[in-house]
């Protein structure tokens, strides 16, 4: 009987862990209030390296923001999408972080977005200038297809840098393993969002891309080639995230209700945990 109970508990635990893992968003979606926004009119060629927003590296729309130093975090939030809500219009917009905003004014605030005019217009009139009292939370980007990678212009057999783009979530780490070697070397992320690989050799190598959620995507690249782009064979999972878009990221959200966003992943995890505890209690009583 004891063995049977242990067995059942083990099954329950495994089941609980696997379900809760697949339903946990890879980043925090807590609602932040007290944010502000301004707008700027030259959003192409931002600091995150995506160049022309409508080009092959860009998000394919103009719903973007430049982040102040706190949010930009040396490039770590490049490619992160945010759902921003406004009390001026009672509307929300989803934008992708594609640029940094270094000026000494509003951008120095902890939560400030310098928006494209297209994104700003959803949240308030340009005549207002600075929108205050905005709320936001992070959302996955609704990109099409798989994560992509490009080698920087000026790359050669001995030096390159990688841009990771078209990802639903931000990147935690990029590592390289030269073919024939056994270990991966992690690369450092530059503030312009390229991952610098200073120790290349002629020939092929593997790249390992780790998401902020700890998932890995691998790709083998035959050789270093300046500005060569590859699409990997997969995309990062965003199960459990609120506001997962189905199409390309960016655009106008449904009217904001003003209430805080739901957290179904937490709720279902709690339910599962309660069920699990009850099962154990029941089994212990039976015993
Ligand atoms: C936004 O919603 C609030 C609360 O429901 C309401 O008082 C306000 O008039 C609305 N503003 C607009 C511009 O619709």
Stretch 155-169: mean pLDDT, rounded? 98
Output the pTM of the full model.
Answer: 0.82
- pLDDT score for 260: 36
Looking at 59-137, list the stretches that DSSP marks H as alpha helix, in order from N- to C-terminal side: 69-72, 117-123
The lowest-confidence range among 50-54, 63-67, 177-181, 263-267 is 263-267
Instruction: Name the band, by pLDDT with cuts 50, 70 and 90, for residue 266.
Output: very low
Q: Say how far apart CA 225 and CA 243 lie, in whole Å.
A: 37
Using the 8-state DSSP alphabet, how is residue 237 labeled?
Answer: -
Q: What are phi and psi of 123, to 5 degrees?
A: -95, -20
The answer, yes or no, to whether any atom of ligand 1 lies below 6 A from the CB of 204, is: no
- pLDDT score for 278: 58
- The atom of ligand 1 lying closest to the CA of 88 is 13
Candidate from 90, 124, 258 with most ligand 1 atoms within 8 A of CB, to mutate = 90
Instruction: Name the band, by pLDDT with cuts 50, 70 and 90, for residue 104.
Output: confident
Instruction: Name the band, by pLDDT with cuts 50, 70 and 90, for residue 2.
Output: low
- pLDDT score for 72: 96
Copy the structure tokens of residue 73: 């975090």
Reduce the DSSP state of residue 13 to 3 states and report it. helix
Stretch 104-121: mean pLDDT, rounded? 94
Q: Model confidence over 13-25: pLDDT tens digits?
A: 544 544 445 579 9
The residue written with tokens 């020939």 in the block is 203
Stretch 137-157: mean pLDDT, rounded? 97
Q: Model confidence over 201-256: pLDDT tens digits?
A: 999 999 999 999 999 999 999 999 999 999 999 999 999 999 877 655 566 655 44
The answer, yes or no, to whether any atom of ligand 1 lies below 6 A from the CB of 89, is: yes
Instruction: Name the band, by pLDDT with cuts 50, 70 and 90, for residue 269.
Output: very low
- pLDDT score for 270: 46
Residue of minimum CA distance from atom 13 in ligand 1: 89
Half-sphere exposure of 277 (CA within 13 A, CB side): 6
- pLDDT score for 285: 63
CA terminus-to-terminus distance, the chain: 7
Stretch 10-14: mean pLDDT, rounded? 49
- pLDDT score for 255: 44
Q: Say how far apart CA 181 and CA 261 lie, in whole Å.
A: 47
Q: Say how far apart CA 78 and CA 97 lie, in whole Å.
A: 5
């Amino acid at each position: 009987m004891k063995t049977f109970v242990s067995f059942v508990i083990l099954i329950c635990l495994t089941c609980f862990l696997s379900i809760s893992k697949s339903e946990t968003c890879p980043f925090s979606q807590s609602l932040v209030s007290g944010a502000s926004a301004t707008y700027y009119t030259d959003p192409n060629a931002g600091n995150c390296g995506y160049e022309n927003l409508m080009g092959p590296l860009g998000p394919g729309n103009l719903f973007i923001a430049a982040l102040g130093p706190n949010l930009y975090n040396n490039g770590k939030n490049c490619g992160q999408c945010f759902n921003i809500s406004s009390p001026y219009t009672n509307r929300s917009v989803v934008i992708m972080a594609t640029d940094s905003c270094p000026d000494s004014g509003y951008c120095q605030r902890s939560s400030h977005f310098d928006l494209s005019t297209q994104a700003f217009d959803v949240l308030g009139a340009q005549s207002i200038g600075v929108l205050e009292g905005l709320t936001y939370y992070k959302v996955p980007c609704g990109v099409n297809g798989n994560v992509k990678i490009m080698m920087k212009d000026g790359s050669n057999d001995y030096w390159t840098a990688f841009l990771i783009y078209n990802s639903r979530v931000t990147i935690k780490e990029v590592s390289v393993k030269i073919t024939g070697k056994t270990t991966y070397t992690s690369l450092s992320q530059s503030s312009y969002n390229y991952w610098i690989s200073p120790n290349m050799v002629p020939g092929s190598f593997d790249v390992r891309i780790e998401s902020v959620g700890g998932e890995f995507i691998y790709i083998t690249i035959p050789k270093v080639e300046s500005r060569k782009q590859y699409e990997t064979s997969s995309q990062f999972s965003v199960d459990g995230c609120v506001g997962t878009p189905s199409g390309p990221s960016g655009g106008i959200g449904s009217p904001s209700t003003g209430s805080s966003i739901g957290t179904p992943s937490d709720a279902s995890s709690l339910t599962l945990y309660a069920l699990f505890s009850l099962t154990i209690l029941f089994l212990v009583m039976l015993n």
